[in-house]
Structure 1
Amino acid sequence: MSDIEHSEQGVRAGESAEFELDAYLERIRWEGERRADVGTLRGVHLAHMRGIPFENLDALRRRAPSLEPPDLMAKLVHSRRGGYCYEHNTLFSLALERLGFQVTRLAARVVVGADRIESRPRTHMALLVDVPGEPGPYLADVGFGALGALLEPVPLVAGEEFRGAGRRHRLVHAAHRGPLRMWVLEAHAPRQGEARGHWQAQYAFTLEPFEKPDFEVVNWHVGTNPRSPFTQRLYVQRVTPDRHLLLHGRLLTETRADGTAREREVTDEAQARRILEEEFEVEAPEGMTLLP
């Protein structure tokens, strides 16, 4: 084994030692098995999605959140806070590794609404998870702040539809320049006046591994760049068994399991803070401005 491999193993071992599995599982209310199999992967994935909200309060203050295990534990596990993709998927990857899974961090291009895959940078973290005894890996992602997010992981298989916790997804291949195959995650979305709905691309990725230093750079960019969507307005999401809640700026949207949605405007700071605490279970830092 090379010196580099020894060093990488040492870093991962140190991160794992700073991660508290019992506290994490209590936070997401997981009381099931603790073993490296498909059932545990799906169950913990769904429990995380429903247990820890997605929020950008640090980025809204132009602060890149720490991705160090003790800081992730303090913020996402031991306090009434959530985080965005790098925080969620870093924390989730630590849990999976402690449970016996092998995890590869991937960097993806969010392509919702994009004309071309290449027009978007790789600013999203997703995970590739190897499950002992399974013929192939799974795509897992507890940090995608959108209605098309995975609630359960899906096998890395192209062209098949997968249903999990009421949502429908599939993976397809896309043509692009480069030696690596491009995968695209698509979510099935209802369309007004169309009974069958349609497939909508969510993000695109290759299977090239990305490491902690890569995500530290992009985390700083997304969390501090004034042009980043996360530094411009409030963005908080919560998933429950029967609804999806999103507070984007002053607009609160509740989407039910059948696809029907209801919107209402948040009028002032006090109401915004109350909604965060009561609906999202997020406690905003004292003194910060939530609304533009």
Structure 2
Amino acid sequence: MADDTGEFDLDAYLGRIGWEGERRADAATLRGVHLAHMRGIPFENLDALRRLAPSLEPADLMTKLVHSRRGGYCYEHNTLFSLALQALGFRVVTRLAARVVVGADRRESRPRTHMALLVEVPGERAPYLADVGFGAIGALLEPMPLVVGAEVRDAERRHRLVHVAHRGPLEMWALEAYEEKAASWAEQYAFTLEPFEAPDFEVINWHIGTNPRSPFTQQLYVQRVSAERHLLLHGRLLTETLVDGTVREREVTEEAEVRRLLEAEFGVVAPEGMTLLTPPE
């Protein structure tokens, strides 16, 4: 990926995510900054809910995700993270396109609409799968080496990478998360190592951010991750999942309460005048 960090401010970004550790192109820094980003910047779809494809330009990402009380979805998060990695000295960061499998009956029924990253780390034999923009409880908290069958514990979660069958000349990888309650592995998304470029994701971003059939244009979707819990507001349902597996759910019915929750619990300030709740089905 070309070096396009000219409008990226590393100091401001690291301040936003609360990272005070080393600034080196090594595995420890990659893991630490990845985890800090996951806990520091929320996932949200407020632009797509207004049928707007958010800008992926570095200056606009800095304004929205770093200098404002906003978050974003995968293209914004992982584009911003790739700029940070370049600024930290990681020279080879490749954009990948993945099929999200969560909730699908067949892997092939989903298009490749998710952005993930493959990062080469100096001195390491295998590149790392990095992804700070997956809006699900099975998301990676820390990056993991691209090694078949290797299991990792990333902060409070467990993941592994496997090969899965598919039609095509390239091997297909799948990221799986371990679900403690079910005592089994659950596939999150599948991908090949074919590089995708910025123009590819400009098109995908426009489709996901504006298509009325996109899941992100239909209902509010906001998540925040901490060391203690995963908090999700999906439409009117607020779900809190603690690290011990305890789940608490409740319905939110008032616009004012949603706006208060966004600011107090998710760290997101919604645009004035925006309708946040869709009519109940």
Structure 2: unaligned runs, 5 residues or longer: none
Deviation digits for residues 46-96 of structure 1 (CA, Å, limit 9, x no counterpart): 000000000000000000000000000000000000000000000000000
Q: Give 1:158's aligned residue.
A: 148
Amino acid paired to 1:227: R
Q: Give 1:269's aligned residue.
A: 255
Q: How does 1:21-170 map to 2 (within 5 A)?
A: 21-101=10-90, 102-170=92-160
Q: CA RMSD in A?
A: 0.8
Tell whether 2:187 aligns with 1:198. Answer: no
Percent of aligned pairs with the same amino acid: 79
Structure 1: unaligned runs, 5 residues or longer: 1-7
1:217 counterpart (203, 206, 213): 203
2:270 counterpart (258, 281, 284): 284
Q: Secondary structure at the match of 1:16?
A: coil
1:230 counterpart (203, 213, 216): 216
Amino acid paired to 2:228: D
2:240 counterpart (254, 272, 281): 254
Amino acid paired to 1:26: G
Deviation digits for residues 1-46 of structure 1 (CA, Å, limit 9, x no counterpart): xxxxxxx7xxx34x21111100000000000000000100000000
Give every structure 1 segment of 4 or more consecutive aligned residues whose post-TM-superposition deviation is greater than 6 Å. none
CA distance in 2, matches of 1:130, 1:216: 24
CA distance in 1, matches of 2:103, 2:135: 15
CA distance in 1, matches of 2:8, 2:84: 8
Amino acid paired to 2:151: E
1:189 counterpart (171, 179, 190): 179
